[in-house]
Amino acid sequence: MEKIDRRILKSQQAIQAAFLAMLVHEGFDEITVKSISEKANIGRKTFYLHYVDKYDLLDKIVDNHLKRLREICDHKKDKGFIEGTIIWFAYFQQHKLFFASLFRSESTLSFRKKLLTFIMGEIDKKLDSNTSINQTIDRHIILKFLGTAVMGVLESYALNETEDDIELVAKQVGTLVKRNL
Amino acid sequence: MEKIDRRILKSQQAIQAAFLAMLVHEGFDEITVKSISEKANIGRKTFYLHYVDKYDLLDKIVDNHLKRLREICDHKKDKGFIEGTIIWFAYFQQHKLFFASLFRSESTLSFRKKLLTFIMGEIDKKLDSNTSINQTIDRHIILKFLGTAVMGVLESYALNETEDDIELVAKQVGTLVKRNL
DNA sequence: AAGTATTTGTGTGTTACTACACATAAATCA
DNA sequence: TGATTTATGTGTAGTAACACACAAATACTT
């Protein structure tokens, strides 16, 4: 991998750290490029050297999370279905505040879209290894059905609408999904 | 005051923070420009844009300390002698680890020189307001005599050679100096 | 004492960041 | 609603920090 200029790393780190801190305490919708720049202690112009706007910034952070999530999933793909679910739900718990902020916002549709795609992708993989009990139902329908279902539960968990701890949630979701494969 | 470029402030802050952290944990003599730059996460070349070498860096930090000390002393110059001594000894205590590091080092002669000059200056001021009981002794001799004495005690305190707390030390030193004015 | 490794100080060309200014677009408020 | 503020996105010229390379000086080994 080629070497990246120190200044680029510093600027991006400062921007992302400032953004994440503000995201949790205020909300995504309240954040402005100006406020990010001030908190990051950089010129506003510098922000635009790295990102198109705050949506672009969020996009890149989300992409990075999903990339890491995929790595985790790939690394543990030989585990059983429920075990696997527990593993990636744990990552979700680790960044609960971050994801909660995004669920709370009304202008983070692309995040929901990406997360859904990710979940559907994971279920899709499991669908291959299991001989489907649903020959009568369109594969795409199953994926969308289960995908939105899982994302809905994640949202509930993030927004503290359930009392259960993450492992219990993961187990139950895993069971429900498996039943429908 | 004119506006200073953000990048200059950031570099200098990073350099000084790295230097001070290393000064306390390692010693001044062990520190290199290379290690400072690495800890500060800047290029070594950048260091030389701001300072001639590590001695120059230390010099500027010491000057800054003495400047603040002088401000404190000026601000409290109407207080009595012993009270005044307590006040500026308190500042010394606050940065005890920093000063201890310098006393410990064998290559910080300019620090000792500057500190001595500062102390002599403070005593000199008090000498004006008191009618001297030492008409027979050269003013410069008194200053040097008392100055080195005070600095010696400060060194002892910094290097933990005395058990007394800083206020008690200050009181005793104040009394001793006053007796000799 | 000779050989090796590390640190130093400097030169060079490149690039990211800077301050500042401007017009446009959104909010906020009277 | 229209007026005023605040945020956005972009342009420009100047400069600090960058990576890299080098020779000379120090420090460390054996």
Q: How far is B153 from chain A (nearest CA, A)?
A: 43
Tell me the pLDDT tens digit for each residue of B91-140: 999 999 999 999 999 899 999 999 999 999 999 988 876 655 666 788 89
- pLDDT-based confidence at residue B167 (cuts at 50, 70, 90): very high
Q: What is the pTM of this model?
A: 0.90
| Unique residue bearing structure tokens 């994971």 | A122
- Per cent of chain A over pLDDT 90 is 78
- Under 8 Å between Cβ of B101 and B108: no
Q: Which amino acid is at B89?
A: F
Q: Does B43 touch chain A (CB under 8 A)?
A: yes
- pLDDT-based confidence at residue B79 (cuts at 50, 70, 90): confident
* CA A174 to C1' D28, whole Å: 62
Output the CA–CA distances (angstroms, integers) from residue B91 to A114, A117, B31, B102, B160, in the order listed: 56, 60, 25, 16, 16
> What pLDDT does B132 receive?
58
Q: How far is A144 from chain B (nearest CA, A)?
A: 47
Distance CA A60, CA A47 (A): 14
**Considering CB atoms only, which of B6, B42, B43 is closest to A43?**
B6
- Under 8 Å between Cβ of A147 and A123: yes
| Domain range list for chain B | 1-51, 55-180
Q: Does A10 touch chain B (CB under 8 A)?
A: yes
Q: Is the CB of B33 under 7 A from strand C?
A: yes
* CB proximity under 8 Å: B 46-105 to A: none
Helix (H, G, I), strand (E, B) or coil at B149: helix
Q: Hey, what are B175's tokens?
A: 């009394």
* CA A58 to C1' C24, whole Å: 25
What is the DSSP secondary-structure string of B114-137? HHHHHHHHHHHHHHHHSPPS-TTS
Q: Does A136 touch chain B (CB under 8 A)?
A: no
Inter-chain CB proximity A43 and B10 less than 8 Å: no
Distance CA A8, CA B5 (A): 18
Mutate one of B4, B6, B47 to test the A interface: name it (highest A CB count within 10 A): B6
| The CATH homologous superfamily of the domain defined by B55-180 | Tetracycline Repressor, domain 2 (1.10.357.10)
Q: Which amino acid is at B46?
A: T
* CA B100 to C1' C10, whole Å: 34
Inter-chain CB proximity B43 and A6 less than 8 Å: yes
Higher pLDDT, B46 or A127: B46
Tell me the pLDDT tens digit for each residue of A63-113: 999 999 999 998 887 888 888 899 999 999 999 999 999 999 989 999 999
Q: Is the CB of A8 under 7 A from strand C?
A: yes
At the topology level of CATH, where does A1-51 sit?
A: Arc Repressor Mutant, subunit A (1.10.10)
Q: Is the CB of B54 under 7 A from strand C?
A: yes
| Residues 6 or more apart whose Cβ sits within 8 Å of residue A13 | none
